[in-house]
Amino acid sequence: MAANETSVVYQGAFGTRNVAAATPMSSDTIFRIASMVKLLTSVAALQLVERGKLKLDEPAANIDPTLAAPQVLAGFDAKGVPQLRPAHKPITLRNLLTHTSGFSYPLWDPNVLRYLKAARADPALPRRPLMFEPGMKWAYGGSIDNVGQLVEIASGQSLDRYFAENITGPLGMNDTSFVIAEKQRARQASLHVRDTNGKLIAKPFEKLAPPTTFSGGGGIYSTAPDYLTLLQALLNGGSLRRANILRPDTVAMMSTNQIGNIEAGILKTANPALSNDVDFFPGVHLRWGLGHMINVDPVRDGRAAGSLTWAGLFNTYYWIDPKKRIAGVIMMQILPFADKQALVAYRQFEHGIYRAI
């Protein structure tokens, strides 16, 4: 789907929800959107910044003591024992929102994998050391999970309740939630994986055990129309159909490079079953704002320079182009991430939208 700030300009649904079944894909199909929840969590945190309950540049440990006294992994000794040192700087909310905190995912960082293996043999080691000094590099990791915890502490609400009262509820995003009902399950797309020949195989649905905790970095469901509503609100400066979720100056700040000359957005997989290597725009300089990746250069036949984007593990993607006043979302349910055929469909969709507008 694609839209400007007031109306949908294109909507389409293709294929089936499950390759083994005849149920067609539809615009109201429910998808697991994984890391695309990070944008919702970032919006939530910035709402609390606007209300004075969180600060971008004060130590995040002032709100969440578990972030106090972080340890940096300096390397491994000859026996493979992790060498840790205290961080020189505290972790801030800005670090967490921009993925410059030092936290990194094992999926894209072999040092994290090596550390976790050592930590299993030594319970005295901290569970999540930093891979570098806060603010020094960019690494995609669990930072937004910590932002979700900050939102819960500062608001006094669970993350699902906070979203419902402050973002999804006001915007009418009724299919966006950490928990889906049986009626919604009937509209859910199955996850598909590729076999050794590249053929898609449907996997059984995940169990619907009621969660007791909620992640700011993953684990939410949505539909393309629901998520596009959020994108339209941001494209429109933080408001849509009488719902105001952020101030225009905050939305502008989200869309501005927050990491200087640090390169962002390129990932090398440590687990090819879950993700391919990621470089969505080869040769394009990439930075990070407060919630999105930013392409510094224009993308040929597509989005303008300064556009905003990110994605979810199961091949769901979005972008916002403030210059050309267009936003788009495309959702599939396939592993590994950055599936080559999924990316071809994504690019064809984007190019088609820009040829039409």
Domain boundaries, the chain: 2-36+174-356
Contact (Cβ atoms closer than 8 angstroms) between residue 72 and residue 61: no
Which residues are within 8 A (CB) of 60 and not within 5 positions of it... i.e. 6 or more apart? 67, 90, 91, 92, 93, 95, 96, 146, 150
Q: Which residue has the tokens 């970095």?
A: 217
Q: Note the pLDDT of residue 229.
A: 98
C-alpha pair distances (Å), 199 with each of 20, 205, 340? 12, 19, 13
Structure-derived torsion over alpha carbons of residues 324, 235, 356, 2, reported in degrees to the nearest 10: 150
pLDDT, residue 186, reads: 94
CATH class entry, domain 2-36+174-356: alpha beta
Strand partners, 86: 71
Q: Residue 352's pLDDT is what?
A: 96
Q: What local confidence, expressed as pLDDT, does residue 206 receive?
A: 85
Nearest CA-CA partner of 40 in 148, 154, 141: 148
Q: What is the pLDDT of residues 177-186, one digit of tens each?
A: 999 999 999 9
Evaluate whether 233 touches 241 at the Cβ level (below 8 Å). no
115 noted as active-site residue: no
Specify whether the CB–CB gap between 3 and 318 falls below 8 A.
no
> How far is 328 from 50, CA to CA, in rounded Å?
27
Residue 40: both structure tokens together: 């919702």
Residues of the chain scoring pLDDT < 50: none
The contacts of residue 84 (CB under 8 Å, 6+ apart) are 71, 72, 73, 74, 125, 126, 129
Q: How many angstroms separate the CA atoms of 236 and 234, rounded?
A: 5
Out of 38, 101, 105, 221, pick the active-site residue. 38
What stretches of 139-222 show up as alpha helix (H) in DSSP? Answer: 143-155, 159-163, 169-171, 182-185
Collect all residues with Cβ–Cβ distance below 8 Å to 197 and sequence separation of at least 6.
Answer: none
Pairing of strands 334-335, 192-194: parallel
What is the structure's pLDDT at 22?
A: 81
Copy the structure tokens of residue 299: 């993308």
pLDDT of residue 208: 79
Tell me what pLDDT residue 230 has: 98
Q: Are strands 243-244 and 334-335 parallel, antiparallel or unpaired?
A: unpaired
Choose the catalytic residue: 105, 115, 140, 162: 140
Half-sphere exposure of 318 (CA within 13 A, CB side): 29
Q: For residue 215, what are the CA distances in angstroms to 30, 162, 177, 235?
A: 19, 12, 12, 25
Active site residue 38: yes
- The answer to whether residue 140 is catalytic is yes
DSSP letter string, 42-91? HHHHHHHHHTTSS-SSSBGGGT-GGGSS-EEEEEE-TT--EEEEE-SS--
